[in-house]
Structure 1
Amino acid sequence: MDTEAITEDARPHNDEKEKAARGDELPEQEEYTVFSSNIRIFLTAFLGVVMILSTLTATIYFPLIPMLSSQLSVSIQAINLTVTVYVIFQAVSPGIFASLSDSFGRRPVLLGITFIYASATLGLVINPNNYTVLIILRGLQSIGGSATTPLAYGIASDVAVTSQRGKMLGPMLSICNGISAIGPVIGGAVALGTNGVTWVFASLLVIAVVCLVVAGCVLPETARSIVGNGSKPPTGVHRTWWSLIRRGALYRYGTSDVEISRGAERFHPAENRKPWTISATLDAFRIIAVRDATAVLWMIATSYSVYYTFQVAIPAIFAEVYHFNELQIGLALLPGLIGMTMGGFVAGKLLDRNYAYTAKVNGIDVDHKRAQDLLHFPLETARYRNCFPFLFIQLIQIIGYGWAVTYRAHPAVLIILQFFICGVSTLLSHTASALLVDIFPEQSSTAYAAAQAVRCGLSAVSSAVLQPLIHTLGRGWYFTAFAVFVSIGGFLTVEISRRWGMKWRQARSTIAGEDSANSDLQP
């Protein structure tokens, strides 16, 4: 089916209603994706691993800071500057590569950023004793690794219909968070066992090379601007290395090159590609200013800042209040990271269940194979169903944590609270992230890049003001104020999205002159 046919099918359904009234037969709608369930399972697992190039690279680095300071003969503050550089590129680079993937396809961009990451990591293995090199290569690591998450969300949007997207996102995020959860412990143990950081970087290099080879050999192109629902044969850089090898084998056994490529030429997808310009790199920042997106982005940012703030606060709390050593602090971080893993899994389950419930209440039949009109579907109500109780639970937990530290409760109390706080905040963040991808189906990767920019920005601010505010207010009142801040923001943004989000989406679509802008049908 060509672009005109898809666009025609996706137009306002008044014409279809008129045809139905006349008894005319409606054209059969193609399946949303032809990728099999086995391929989606593979993509879920593989993308969960690929995303650790962003998350594990960050978490595994924290235990290395004192050792790097000693090894390079620089201050802790100087090493913290490398963390700042990493966070800056973590906020900026996804917007560039996400816009490229929305236009030119997921596969070539993912291969490119993985190669950048692997090259930077190789440089750290070869030259670990130069501070200037460390800053530059950590920046390159961030450029390559940070863009993997929005690309993963984009691929999930490509191959999973909205009603079943949680089934893919939940396990994908849990795999990523689960592996990253043990990052600090592994990083610290490897560094102590080898008396240096080289083997820590070497382990990241091995992961990057494996991801690059697997992606090159078998990762299919999924971008709907390139292969539609997967039925259009990919060409050129969008083909897997294995298919190119197989193509060579067929040629050697007498199959004509023209015959092999004839089908691809017939269905060449170039006319479907969204034009890309340098200004497209700013699309992620333009999305921030879209009013229905702004509310969702604030929910993502505040929820993520809860996790990030606790990751920064925990080492200081357990060192200063409970006098834990480095290994004990690394172990104290684990419950929160495990909570993240469980939160992602639960979020995936709830996303699909809440979507089905909302569809049933509104008398809408859910088709798990074909696209549905999302412009007139209450996505905000579906995604945010039962969010208020979780926001209230998060409020109570964070306040309780602050006062538990103030009155020196048993460390077990804090560890249990960390598990649930990080689990709930992750659930809320992933729920809002799924909604953001839903309301920008043509720019799913770019939309998540906007989320990454906002959440990194707020998290950087929250971590910067953490110690000054704790010294001014005390831990009890600081965590109370922080809990009220993120919870009020969460309550307001959820209510705004549920009440006006759908109207704003429809108005945005009308202004754009295409009601299909919020349909699964759009490639």
Structure 2
Amino acid sequence: MNSTTQSTLLEPPTEPSTEASQNDIESDNASNNNPTKNNNETPAAPAAAYSAFSPAMRTYLTYLLGFIITLSTLTATIYFPLIPLLATQFHTSIQAVNLTVTAYAIAQALAPALFASLADRVGRRPVLLFLVFLYAAASLGLALNRSSYPGLVALRVLQSVGGSPTPALAYGIVADVAPVAERGAMLGPLLSTCNAISAVGPVVGGALALATAGAEWVFVALLVVAAVSLLLAGFTLPETARAMVGNGEKEVGGVWSTWWACGRKMLRARSARPGVGRSRREKETDSSELRTGPEPRRGWSLRDAVASFRILLHKDALAVLWMVASSYSIYYTFQVAIPVIFDEVYGYNELEIGLVFLPGLAGMTIGGIVAGKLVDRNYAVTARKHGFELKDKEKHDLAEFPIEAARYRHCLAIIFVEALLVIGYGWAVRFRVHPAVPIILQFFACALSTLLSHTSSALLVDIFPNTSSSAYASGQLMRCGLSAASAAVIQPLVDAVGRGWYFTMFSLFVSVTCAASVLVSQWKGREWRQNRFARRP
């Protein structure tokens, strides 16, 4: 050690000057901002993407789910033309066959609440596969049942239990793989695919029944749809539940793995002799691939089975749920009223009445497409208005983001137009104008009804991000209840005041309550939602 160095080490430390200290601070800050100048500092790891699923996979899931959830809608639409035929086949009355529709509707309201909560906890894939298999078994039983009326009721209930929860699971999968700002791009085509396939249900059901003079081939057709859905989901549907796989990067095995992946593992196991030519790292990799869960998680309990019912108790959810249910009741009311109106007023036969359903279902399809695009566009406009960067859309905190304002942008104007369409439909039928007029009004009314229903359903899933399937199931519970009530009062009110005044009263009731729901959500929804998040453990 030279003398200069030694004297320096022996000297007491001196206080640096203010100027020197400032230079050192600036130098340290520059070093922190430039990792290349400071080897001891590592840059912060970038935040993980919301979803690891590729855009191509998301597109595939969109149309796969759109096909699978037809097990819920097609099952109902294809059944209506069969009612007179089933009454003859089972030697019973039309009213008795109508009870099978009621039983189906009850199961349709209750089953999603149970299976949606189960899917939120244990994964979407195994629950969906079980439901599709159950639906296929019920369809096979219906095709084989030729004379037992109790069997018809039981199998229709079983069919509803299998098919009705699939839309709730589909909404959950969309919430798993798509951030809030991009969900419309999936929901629009998904729902439109379902509606387009379901639109041909009444025509297909009537045509098959007419050609075969029986209902069994209709149920065989539903069995084929279920079998195709089961194969596609089994081989290609990945597990997406965030409780299981996070953003999709974590590997799972067992029932959460696709049949294709399981098959490849079996082939590799057969082609390789155990323990020969395999490194320790390869064995550890295989072991990690066979894990049944990526991390500890809370299991499903009976308390979770009522999660959809408990959602009804939250003030912010109840406002949105009313919007979901009342807007959907417009479409449902049209579906119930069409057969009677076009039979009594216009004298259409069964085939012509089946064709009259098509414009409304086409309106639903287009309304779903438009809703998907508007949901994303309104989100982007609202984000810019409130100073949220669109490039960071995956990081937006919904506790702070005004999601109610984004989803319900321009909805009041849409509600007003919807009210005019429904009122116009009622008076057009009342004065027996040319049937083209109510058919056109039906198309636009169903399109706007679907747009409003899908928009509010998207908001419902948004405000319950950790239980998205259960949230959608609560919407289905509310929707089925209100629709059943509206269907029950149609004929008594029409008999009392006529179709013109009935549709006027119905339109005013729905439009006023929908508008109130929107205003309440925009005014207090965010505050209620923040309070609910704050109370959450």
TM-score, reference length from structure 2:
0.89
Question: Is 1:407 the equivalent of 2:431?
Answer: yes
Contact in 2 for aligned 1:31/1:369 (Cα 8 Å): no
Q: CA deviation at 1:255?
A: 7.5
Could you tell me which residue of structure 1 aligns to residue 18 of structure 2?
none
Could you tell me which residue of structure 2 aligns to residue 228 of structure 1?
246
Q: CA deviation at 1:26?
A: 5.8
Contact in 2 for aligned 1:45/1:172 (Cα 8 Å): yes
Could you tell me which residue of structure 1 aligns to residue 347 of structure 2?
323
Task: Tell me, in whole angstroms, the C-alpha distance in 2 between the residues paired with 1:337 and 1:129.
Answer: 33
Q: CA deviation at 1:27?
A: 5.0
Structure 2: segments with no counterpart, 5+ residues: 1-31, 34-40, 275-281
Q: CA deviation at 1:274?
A: 3.4
Question: Is 1:388 the equivalent of 2:412?
Answer: yes
1:299 partner amino acid: M
Question: Is 1:253 the equivalent of 2:271?
Answer: yes
Q: Classify the secondary structure of the residue corresponding to 1:35.
A: coil
Could you tell me which residue of structure 1 aligns to residue 105 of structure 2?
87
Task: Tell me, in whole angstroms, the C-alpha distance in 2 between the residues paired with 1:284 and 1:295.
Answer: 15
2:480 partner amino acid: C
Question: Is 1:201 the equivalent of 2:206?
Answer: no
Task: Tell me, in whole angstroms, the C-alpha distance in 1 between the residues paired with 2:392 and 2:240.
Answer: 18
Question: Is 1:276 the equivalent of 2:300?
Answer: yes
Please identify runs of 4+ aligned residues in structure 1 that moved more than 6 A: 22-25
Could you tell me which residue of structure 1 aligns to residue 386 of structure 2?
362
Encode CA deviations 1:431-469: one digit per residue, 9 max, x unaligned.
Answer: 000000000010000000000000000000000111011
Contact in 2 for aligned 1:117/1:145 (Cα 8 Å): yes
2:359 partner amino acid: P
Could you tell me which residue of structure 2 aligns to residue 457 of structure 1?
481
Q: How does 1:299-448 map to 2 (within 5 A)?
A: 299-367=323-391, 370-448=394-472
Could you tell me which residue of structure 2 aligns to residue 176 of structure 1?
194
Task: Tell me, in whole angstroms, the C-alpha distance in 1 between the residues paired with 2:260 and 2:299.
Answer: 29
Contact in 2 for aligned 1:34/1:230 (Cα 8 Å): yes
Q: How does 1:125-144 map to 2 (within 5 A)?
A: 125-144=143-162
Q: CA deviation at 1:70?
A: 1.1
Encode CA deviations 1:85-112: one digit per residue, 9 max, x unaligned.
Answer: 0000000000000000000000000001
Contact in 1 for aligned 2:320/2:459 (Cα 8 Å): yes
Q: CA deviation at 1:368?
A: 6.7
Could you tell me which residue of structure 1 aligns to residue 522 of structure 2?
498
Task: Tell me, in whole angstroms, the C-alpha distance in 1 between the residues paired with 2:190 and 2:522.
Answer: 27
Contact in 1 for aligned 2:254/2:292 (Cα 8 Å): no
Q: Classify the secondary structure of the residue corresponding to 1:30.
A: coil
Higher deviation after alignment, 340-349 or 360-369 = 360-369
Contact in 2 for aligned 1:31/1:370 (Cα 8 Å): yes
Q: How does 1:71-82 map to 2 (within 5 A)?
A: 71-82=89-100
Question: Is 1:489 the equivalent of 2:520?
Answer: no
Task: Tell me, in whole angstroms, the C-alpha distance in 1 between the residues paired with 2:284 and 2:236.
Answer: 23
Task: Tell me, in whole angstroms, the C-alpha distance in 1 between the residues paired with 2:161 and 2:88.
Answer: 26
Encode CA deviations 1:463-516: one digit per residue, 9 max, x unaligned.
Answer: 011101100110000000000010011100000001111111100011114xxx
2:377 partner amino acid: R
Q: CA deviation at 1:371?
A: 3.5
Q: CA deviation at 1:192?
A: 0.3
Q: CA deviation at 1:374?
A: 1.1
Could you tell me which residue of structure 2 aligns to residue 28 of structure 1?
46
Task: Tell me, in whole angstroms, the C-alpha distance in 2 between the residues paired with 1:171 and 1:398.
Answer: 26
Quick one: percent identity of the two aligned structures? 56
Task: Tell me, in whole angstroms, the C-alpha distance in 2 between the residues paired with 1:446 and 1:466.
Answer: 30
Q: How does 1:12-91 map to 2 (within 5 A)?
A: 28-91=46-109
1:339 partner amino acid: G
Task: Tell me, in whole angstroms, the C-alpha distance in 2 between the residues paired with 1:115 and 1:311.
Answer: 29
Could you tell me which residue of structure 1 aligns to residue 137 of structure 2?
119
Selected match of 1:264 from 285, 289, 298: 289
What's the C-alpha RMSD, in Å, of the aligned pairs? 1.6
Structure 1: segments with no counterpart, 5+ residues: 1-21, 514-523
Could you tell me which residue of structure 2 aligns to residue 147 of structure 1?
165
Distance 1:368 1:349, change over 3 A: farther
Distance 1:484 1:369, change over 3 A: closer
Q: Classify the secondary structure of the residue corresponding to 1:501.
A: helix
Distance 1:265 1:111, change over 3 A: closer
Q: Classify the secondary structure of the residue corresponding to 1:32.
A: coil
Give the structure, 1 or 2, with the largest relative contact order (CA under 8 Å, sep 6 or more).
1
Distance 1:205 1:268, change over 3 A: closer
Q: CA deviation at 1:253?
A: 2.6
Task: Tell me, in whole angstroms, the C-alpha distance in 1 between the residues paired with 2:524 and 2:378.
Answer: 19
Task: Tell me, in whole angstroms, the C-alpha distance in 2 between the residues paired with 1:208 and 1:386.
Answer: 39
Task: Tell me, in whole angstroms, the C-alpha distance in 2 between the residues paired with 1:145 and 1:85.
Answer: 14
Q: CA deviation at 1:262?
A: 3.1
Q: Classify the secondary structure of the residue corresponding to 1:469.
A: helix
Q: Classify the secondary structure of the residue corresponding to 1:333.
A: helix
Distance 1:164 1:286, change over 3 A: same
Could you tell me which residue of structure 2 aligns to residue 469 of structure 1?
493
Contact in 2 for aligned 1:102/1:223 (Cα 8 Å): yes
Question: Is 1:298 the equivalent of 2:317?
Answer: no
Q: CA deviation at 1:213?
A: 1.2
Q: CA deviation at 1:127?
A: 1.2
Q: CA deviation at 1:389?
A: 0.9
Q: Classify the secondary structure of the residue corresponding to 1:370.
A: helix
Q: CA deviation at 1:372?
A: 2.4
Could you tell me which residue of structure 2 aligns to residue 518 of structure 1?
none
Task: Tell me, in whole angstroms, the C-alpha distance in 2 between the residues paired with 1:277 and 1:475.
Answer: 48
1:452 partner amino acid: Q
Task: Tell me, in whole angstroms, the C-alpha distance in 2 between the residues paired with 1:212 and 1:250.
Answer: 25
Distance 1:126 1:357, change over 3 A: same
Selected match of 2:207 from 157, 169, 189: 189
Higher deviation after alignment, 368-377 or 307-316 = 368-377
Contact in 2 for aligned 1:44/1:171 (Cα 8 Å): yes
Distance 1:135 1:38, change over 3 A: same
TM-score, reference length from structure 1:
0.92
Contact in 2 for aligned 1:232/1:264 (Cα 8 Å): no
Q: Classify the secondary structure of the residue corresponding to 1:211.
A: helix
1:269 partner amino acid: P
Q: Classify the secondary structure of the residue corresponding to 1:118.
A: helix
1:94 partner amino acid: P
Task: Tell me, in whole angstroms, the C-alpha distance in 2 between the residues paired with 1:268 and 1:465.
Answer: 50
Task: Tell me, in whole angstroms, the C-alpha distance in 1 between the residues paired with 2:459 and 2:346.
Answer: 40
Encode CA deviations 1:173-199: one digit per residue, 9 max, x unaligned.
Answer: 000001001100110011001111010
Higher deviation after alignment, 360-369 or 43-52 = 360-369
Q: Classify the secondary structure of the residue corresponding to 1:269.
A: coil
Task: Tell me, in whole angstroms, the C-alpha distance in 2 between the residues paired with 1:393 and 1:496.
Answer: 20
Distance 1:388 1:222, change over 3 A: same
2:225 partner amino acid: I
The total of aligned residue pairs comes to 491
Task: Tell me, in whole angstroms, the C-alpha distance in 2 between the residues paired with 1:259 and 1:27.
Answer: 26
Q: Classify the secondary structure of the residue corresponding to 1:334.
A: helix
Q: Classify the secondary structure of the residue corresponding to 2:358.
A: helix
Contact in 1 for aligned 2:135/2:158 (Cα 8 Å): yes
Task: Tell me, in whole angstroms, the C-alpha distance in 1 between the residues paired with 2:308 and 2:78.
Answer: 28
Encode CA deviations 1:231-262: one digit per residue, 9 max, x unaligned.
Answer: 00012110111111100111223276844433
